[in-house]
Amino acid sequence: MKQIRQAKRYANALLRNVGIENAPQAITEINAVSNLMVISKEFKSLLINPQFTSEERGKVIKQIAGRIKLSENTVKFIIYLSEVRVILFLPEIIRIATNLYNEKKRKAKAVVMTPIEISKDYDNMLRSSLKKVTDRDVDIEYVMDPSLLGGILIKIGSTMYDTSIKGQLRLLKDELIKR
């Protein structure tokens, strides 16, 4: 619980410092650093190990920033998180910052699972329908899942809409078990 509170505080600080218009770029850059921490154990160790000095950390982060083209604000933010020892909360900070940004921009993110490729016409119809349901602009991420057999499964935040054949069969099975 403490981790979530801290992550929320730093996510708010990030959005305050970069501004709402620069938030998508900052979140993308910070996500790149988070991915680099997953890939490189040495880099992660540099950021979390107290044996490294602030100068050593700053020097390495600035070298990496030049290679992956990070803004000055992102570099300062990463160095700060490393110094206050909350850099391990970075994935949670990214998730919360993204949610806060979407909330301020009145956007929602939907994950749509489908067994087949979606046509442009269907995509437009789905976006329109989801906008009516959520009263927000919706960014859709499509995931191919052949096990659905037909229909779609939509997840927006913690809400699920399941029109898949697999989901309908599961409901039917549950109903038969109850009787």
Average pLDDT, the chain: 86
User: What does the pLDDT average to over 152-175?
Assistant: 86
Q: Is the pTM of this model over 0.75?
A: no
Distance, CA of 172 to CA of 179 (rounded, Å): 11
Residue 92 pLDDT class (50, 70, 90 cuts): very high
Q: What is the pLDDT of residues 11-48, one digit of tens each?
A: 888 888 888 888 888 888 888 889 988 988 888 888 88
Instruction: Please name each of the domains of the chain with its CATH number.
Output: 2-102 (1.10.520), 107-178 (3.40.30)
